[in-house]
Amino acid sequence: MIRDDVCDLEISAVAPLLRERRLSPVELTDAYLERIQRLDPSLNSYIRVMPDQARAAARQAEREIADGGWRGPLHGVPLGIKDLFDVAGVPTTMGSSILRDNVPDLDATVVSHLKAAGAVILGKHNLHEFAFGITSENPHFGAVHNPWSLDRVPGGSSGGTAAAVAAGLCAGGLGSDTGASIRAPASFCGVVGLKPTYGRVSRAGALPLAWSLDHAGPLARSVADCAILLQAIAGHDARDHASAMQAVPDFSADLARGVAGLRVGVPREYFFEVVEPDVERLVRDAIATLEQLGASVQEVSLPHVSHAQVAGNVIMSSEAAAWHTTWLRERPHDYGPDVLQRIRGGLLVRATEYLHSQQMRTLIQQDFARAFERVDVVVGPSVPLVAPPIGRTLEPGRSLNVAPRSVANRTTVPCNLTGMPAISVPCGFSDGLPVGLQIMGPAFAEPLVLRVAAAYEAATDWRQHKPRLTAGSTARAER
């Protein structure tokens, strides 16, 4: 048996070992499966582990690599998938009781891309029910726990994916983001999460929350790993009505270019108005780091962005209610109370309010377009706070007198409305809990967003910090 610490290796580090046959995909997969078996009872990050399928895929990867057929940096790499993406023959529950026995015949397009890249699918990750919430306190499959502090939420809705990536229970993962659902858990769990441009990554075979806001994207332990994962899943797909006819660039090509000469915008309004003091301090320190690396920093104005949360919540609840209408009437008792309340709320929203919210969306898009005439990227906090305690997300926090649930998508939802790419990269710790820096760029500028994130990541050592988990004990941080 190889050592458990291979599970801490980033994809960019493990790929050459696999390619050069210094590490076996089968042994690596077994190491992850053993680690999941040992540690996941504390985290509950997986709804379903798929050991037989994973080992079969690993054996196939091993044979192909031995025969000189290395497919690329994901070949033989064990990944996890949020349980709203279809994997053929395996239930896609969306974290719900209603879909417990929903077994698709086809892979989601992103899953088929990962399989084509030779990845090993370890299993399906736990999430907030129907992806409609930021806590991943799932009433049907149990709450996901944050590996940095087991009594805290991991964020959501891709909470299982972020927790598993942070804890070394998969090398990377696939999440979705409708208002915060990749970036908030990435921030809370101290990993990197990228919401690509709307239309960049197919959502075919992913169950929807809100069609006009839904995005699929990667979570990983480094910016480079996010670029590798995005490379595999990006591209036009005729199965997705919203998929963009856009050339796919090399997302890793600019990672080492640095930020010298780039212009970084810091929003004058909104992003720093409701934020924990420690989070603001760490994000402003990160902005200072970018400046020290040669970027110029200037303030930008986004006059309509303060209405983003209202517009986002109107659109999200309305579109969710439209998708859930039949079950709302026929199976209300099969929903958890918070999700039922939020989706039912969408039934009350009037068409004029939906359309006004869509107009607000246009104005917010115009605000960002004007900002991007002056700057290359806009930065701010990923989430205004650190991970709150499980079961207490409706109570005001320690240094921010608002309920975490009411502000968790505050700084992320603008990019769901505009469709712009945005990444969360770790930028420090507040009382041992991770904080994320959000970097937002113009549509289809993922290479630029990744470049800025990589420059910041390379200048700091935050990703060297790992949560230390032992079976059956509470988590604590170590370097």
Partner 1 sequence: MAEPAAGEAVRQVVGAQLSDREAAALANWYVALARGVADFPQADLKAVEPPLGSTPGPPA
Binding footprint of partner 1 on the chain (CB under 8 A) = 304, 307, 309-311, 313-314, 317, 328-329, 332, 341, 344-345, 347-350, 353, 355-363, 365-366
Minimum distance, C-beta of residue 320 to partner 1, in the bound complex (Å) = 13
- In the bound state with partner 1, the residue whose beta carbon lies nearer, of 354 and 429, is 354
Q: Determine which one of 12, 45, 136, 181 is catalytic.
A: 181
430 carries an active-site annotation: no
- In the bound state with partner 1, the residue whose beta carbon lies nearer, of 256 and 394, is 394
Minimum distance, C-beta of residue 324 to partner 1, in the bound complex (Å) = 12
Q: Determine which one of 12, 24, 45, 82 is catalytic.
A: 82
β-bridge mates for residue 378, sequence order: 265, 440
The Cα 148–Cα 188 span in angstroms is: 9
Quick check: helix, strand or coil at residue 196? Answer: coil
181 carries an active-site annotation: yes
The Cα 178–Cα 206 span in angstroms is: 12
> Between the CA of residue 27 and those of 8, 60, 283, 358, 412, what are the distances in Å?
14, 13, 39, 50, 38
The Cα 435–Cα 452 span in angstroms is: 17
Q: Which pair of tokens denotes residue 47?
A: 């709804």
Strand pairing of 263-267 and 377-381? parallel
- In the bound state with partner 1, the residue whose beta carbon lies nearer, of 296 and 365, is 365
Minimum distance, C-beta of residue 273 to partner 1, in the bound complex (Å) = 16
The Cα 397–Cα 152 span in angstroms is: 12
- In the bound state with partner 1, the residue whose beta carbon lies nearer, of 165 and 321, is 321
Minimum distance, C-beta of residue 416 to partner 1, in the bound complex (Å) = 13
- In the bound state with partner 1, the residue whose beta carbon lies nearer, of 405 and 476, is 405
Q: Which amino acid is at 57?
A: A
The Cα 435–Cα 279 span in angstroms is: 6
The Cα 354–Cα 213 span in angstroms is: 13
Other Cβ atoms closer than 10 A to 467? 22
Residue ranges in 155-245 assigned as alpha helix (H)? 159-166, 183-189, 223-233
Q: Determine which one of 45, 157, 222, 357 is catalytic.
A: 157
The Cα 87–Cα 54 span in angstroms is: 12
Minimum distance, C-beta of residue 401 to partner 1, in the bound complex (Å) = 18
Minimum distance, C-beta of residue 406 to partner 1, in the bound complex (Å) = 10
- In the bound state with partner 1, the residue whose beta carbon lies nearer, of 77 and 213, is 213
157 carries an active-site annotation: yes
Catalytic positions are: 82, 157, 181
